[in-house]
């Protein structure tokens, strides 16, 4: 299935195009250069609202008509933005209460972008009118390929405490709880004298003297994600009405805490994200991009996604903005494809001469494209993407899933915990352990269909609903291997402890219960030592001791084998890793501690061995291998050399033809520094 029918089976290639920032005399050169660079898709109009509607009553689409026609003549399709990401100055002048307000009560003013509250009725009314006009005007234009709603929703302004948000929060709570008594019970308001008598006593969790009610904070995070999503849906529904059949998307930001992208993805026709790994941290950057691609792909199972933005070289918004060495942008583009993208796009086409982003790299920089190494690489990637068109519509089929839930993230990181836990750091560490061994992983919601997986890992899944717990339990009961870690299944969906021994909701499945937590912080240490009774565990864990990090627990076993024990502290000799056999083939493992990178690598290998999952091709460090599979059975193997030195990769029994060189690949594959092969397997 093609993500964008109008691209007729090609991969998408291009970037944000902001012609409104340039004299019209520049546009023909843009279109010509796009054509020679292999660009076939550009995102237009993202920040063009004030150019389209300079005053509430004056509209000008004529310039955009000319842009559409020019691009169309040059074979470039348009992903048209709804332009709602940055309202014109008149919005703040006419409707000052449309501006967002922070938890401290500070109003965020005009002068940058995103200066609106998602709950402002005036903003929403004007945004709806704009989207309707855009939709009607361009629905039938042959260059239109997709709709791009807003831009990086909530990126800078990710919660609002203004008057309209307070009213909307109350309405959201009313529809969730129906009665004020139910809300009092759900929030545990008997604690610290917080019992509410009426809805209008309730506020967004503004800055308070001490720890705010955690359930209130959690509901506010849910409400905020829903409020932004509601705005997206308002625009999307208008587009579906006036421009039926044209796919609608927006650019996500992968692990972006304020928005529950599981809920968002359900409302999107395909997912897209903006990938900005830091060139100053090449090793972290390599994994940072991979994990973001994997999440974005997982959000819409079975479908490719689009890398909607990336930098061709340096960005402008870090404290230190290093350029990408020659070849890295190309390798990162291929990495996006390797992990399931059907398109590679950049911010932006032509580097600005003024404004806040003029020192951000682009596809056309401040110098003559004919003399610019970045532009030469841009054109090379454009030409290569044409050769890779057979990938379109295919995807990565992982056998390992990592459970990830925004609600668990929000709840875990509220205040007053045994120690400050970092959900993202743990998730990234777990993912990285599989990634470095070229074991493909998806990220899944706790209540998702798990039937495609052999191994499901649930790291620090602090909040778990009953439905989520049942889903994980039945995955193991059906023969899957489940690995749950410390701080999982502690509270229910309302952030209430499930009593009787942690993890209340998974106790029976895991066959253990936890009496007390012993967080480590920086001052305490422990190690985990394998008991050696289980040969498979021993094989995968090549050393007997792993360093504990962050957290340990005092575990009681009820119905499980002990694979490893703690060596020190108040829990010396007590279980650290357990395994319960579930039904005939199922396994439920429990890890009662955090680990360092080496430890996670061992644990990932152990869990993969328990589940019988192996990489498609074993390769040395920093050689990334990923497989894309199509419905018709075609299989494309990506081999990416992230090293700044050549490598030789043994192909084992795999054979095929490299689409980039059009040469057969035999026993060994030689790749130059930052080199890559995309092999259509025989």
Q: Which residues bind ligand GLA (CB under 6 A)?
A: 151-152, 274, 276, 309, 315, 347, 357, 360
Answer whether 119's CB lies under 8 Å from 98's CB. Answer: no
Among 5, 13, 679, CA closest to 307: 13
Task: Give me the numbers of helices (H) and strands (E) for the chain, helices first please.
Answer: 18, 29
Q: In what order do the strands lie in the sheet with 623-629?
A: 623-629, 635-641, 676-681, 656-658, 663-665
d(CA 168, CA 156): 21
- For residue 99, what are the CA distances in angstroms to 108, 122, 225, 324? 6, 11, 18, 37
Told to judge if 20 belongs to the known catalytic residues of this protein, a careful annotator would answer no
344 pairs with which residues across the strands? 13, 307
Strands, E assignment, 438-549 = 441-444, 455-458, 481-485, 512-519, 527-530, 545-549
Told to judge if 309 belongs to the known catalytic residues of this protein, a careful annotator would answer yes
- For residue 105, what are the CA distances in angstroms to 101, 204, 532, 599? 6, 11, 58, 45
Taking the C-alpha atoms of 70, 73, 78 and 84 in order, what is their torsion angle to the nearest 10 degrees? 20
Which of 309, 377, 610, 624 is catalytic? The answer is 309
Least separation in angstroms between residue 233's CB and ligand GLA is 20
CA 540 to centroid of chain Cα atoms: 30
d(CA 222, CA 207): 18
DSSP 358: T
Three-state DSSP class for 29?
Answer: helix
Q: What angle do CA 659, 661, 664 make, to 5 degrees?
A: 75
d(CA 141, CA 230): 27
Least separation in angstroms between residue 114's CB and ligand GLA is 10
Among 152, 102, 170, 411, CA closest to 275: 152
**Smaller CB distance to ligand GLA: residue 302 or 355?**
355
**Smaller CB distance to ligand GLA: residue 82 or 471?**
82
Cα atoms in the Cβ-side hemisphere of radius 13 Å centred on 434: 28
Least separation in angstroms between residue 253's CB and ligand GLA is 8
Residue with tokens 């890992």: 457
Least separation in angstroms between residue 192's CB and ligand GLA is 41
- For residue 277, what are the CA distances in angstroms to 260, 289, 559? 22, 6, 44
Which of 20, 152, 550, 610 is catalytic? The answer is 152
Structural Rg of the chain based on CA atoms: 26
Least separation in angstroms between residue 44's CB and ligand GLA is 13
**Smaller CB distance to ligand GLA: residue 348 or 601?**
348
- For residue 346, what are the CA distances in angstroms to 42, 275, 413, 503? 9, 9, 33, 44
**Smaller CB distance to ligand GLA: residue 252 or 563?**
252
Least separation in angstroms between residue 259's CB and ligand GLA is 14
Least separation in angstroms between residue 311's CB and ligand GLA is 6
**Smaller CB distance to ligand GLA: residue 357 or 508?**
357
End-to-end CA distance of the chain: 22
Cβ within 8 Å of residue 516, ≥6 positions away: 553, 554
**Smaller CB distance to ligand GLA: residue 349 or 638?**
349
Among 616, 613, 592, CA closest to 438: 616
Least separation in angstroms between residue 273's CB and ligand GLA is 9
DSSP 101: B
Answer whether 180's CB lies under 8 Å from 199's CB. Answer: yes
Least separation in angstroms between residue 37's CB and ligand GLA is 20
Among 299, 311, 237, CA closest to 262: 299
Which of the residues are catalytic?
Answer: 152, 309
């Amino acid at each position: 299935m093609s993500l964008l029918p109008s691209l007729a089976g090609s991969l998408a290639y291009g970037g944000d195009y902001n012609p409104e920032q340039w004299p019209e005399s520049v546009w023909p050169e843009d279109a010509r250069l796009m054509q020679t660079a292999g660009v076939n898709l550009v995102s237009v109009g993202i920040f063009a609202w004030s150019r389209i509607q300079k005053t509430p009553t004056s509209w000008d689409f004529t310039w955009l008509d000319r842009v559409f026609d020019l691009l169309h003549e040059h074979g470039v399709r348009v992903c048209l933005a709804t332009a709602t990401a940055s309202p014109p100055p008149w919005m703040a002048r006419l409707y000052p209460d449309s501006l967002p307000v922070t938890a401290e009560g500070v109003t965020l003013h005009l002068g940058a972008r995103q200066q609106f509250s998602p709950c402002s009725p005036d903003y929403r009314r004007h945004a709806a009118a704009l989207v309707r006009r855009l939709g009607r005007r361009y629905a039938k234009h042959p260059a239109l390929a997709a709709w791009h709603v807003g831009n990086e929703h909530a990126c800078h302004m990710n919660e609002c405490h203004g008057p309209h948000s307070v009213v909307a929060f109350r309405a959201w709570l009313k529809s969730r709880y129906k009665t004020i008594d139910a809300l009092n019970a759900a929030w545990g308001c008997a604690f610290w004298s917080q019992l509410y008598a009426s809805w209008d006593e309730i506020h967004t969790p503004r800055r308070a003297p001490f720890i705010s009610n955690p359930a209130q904070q959690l509901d506010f995070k849910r409400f905020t994600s829903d409020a932004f999503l509601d705005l997206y849906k308002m625009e999307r529904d208008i587009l579906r009405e006036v421009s039926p059949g044209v796919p609608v998307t927006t650019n996500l930001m992968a692990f972006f805490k304020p928005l529950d992208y599981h809920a968002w993805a359900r409302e999107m026709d395909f997912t897209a994200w903006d990938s900005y790994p830091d060139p100053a941290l090449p090793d972290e950057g390599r994994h940072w991009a991979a994990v973001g691609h994997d999440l974005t792909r997982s959000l819409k199972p079975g479908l490719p996604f689009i890398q909607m933005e990336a930098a061709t070289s340096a960005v402008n918004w870090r404290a230190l903005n290093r350029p990408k060495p020659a070849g890295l942008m190309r390798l990162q583009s291929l990495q996006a494809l390797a992990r399931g993208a059907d398109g590679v796009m950049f911010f932006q086409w032509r580097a600005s001469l003024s404004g806040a982003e003029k020192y951000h790299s682009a596809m056309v920089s401040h110098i003559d494209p004919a003399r610019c190494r970045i532009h030469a690489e841009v054109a090379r990637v454009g030409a290569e993407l044409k050769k890779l068109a057979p990938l379109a519509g295919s995807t990565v089929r992982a056998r390992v899933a990592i459970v990830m839930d925004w609600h668990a993230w929000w709840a875990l990181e509220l205040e007053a915990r045994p120690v400050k836990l970092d959900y993202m750091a743990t998730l990234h560490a777990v993912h990285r352990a599989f990634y470095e061994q070229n074991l493909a992983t998806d990220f899944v919601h706790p209540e998702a269909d798990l039937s495609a997986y052999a191994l499901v890992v649930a790291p620090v899944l602090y909040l778990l609903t009953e439905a989520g717990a049942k889903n994980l339990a039945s995955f193991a009961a059906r023969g899957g291997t489940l690995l749950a870690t410390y701080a999982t299944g502690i509270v229910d969906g309302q952030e209430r402890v499930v009593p009787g021994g942690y993890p209340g909701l998974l106790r029976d499945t895991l066959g253990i219960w936890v009496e007390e937590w012993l967080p480590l912080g920086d001052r305490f240490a422990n190690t985990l030592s394998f008991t050696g009774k289980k040969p498979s565990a021993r094989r995968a864990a090549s050393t007997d001791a792993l360093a504990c990090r962050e957290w340990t627990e005092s575990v009681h076993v009820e119905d499980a084998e002990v694979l490893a024990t703690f060596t020190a502290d108040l829990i010396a000799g007590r279980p650290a890793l357990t395994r319960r056999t579930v039904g005939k083939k199922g396994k439920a493992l429990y890890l009662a501690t955090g680990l360092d990178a080496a430890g996670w690598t061992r644990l990932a290998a152990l869990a993969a061995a328990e589940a019988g999952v192996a990489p498609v091709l074993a390769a040395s460090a920093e050689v990334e291998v990923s497989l894309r599979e199509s419905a018709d059975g075609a299989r494309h193997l990506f081999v990416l050399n992230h090293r700044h030195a050549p490598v030789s990769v043994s192909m084992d029994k795999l054979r095929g033809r490299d689409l980039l060189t059009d040469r057969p690949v035999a026993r060994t594959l030689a790749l130059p520094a930052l080199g890559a092969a995309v092999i259509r397997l025989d």
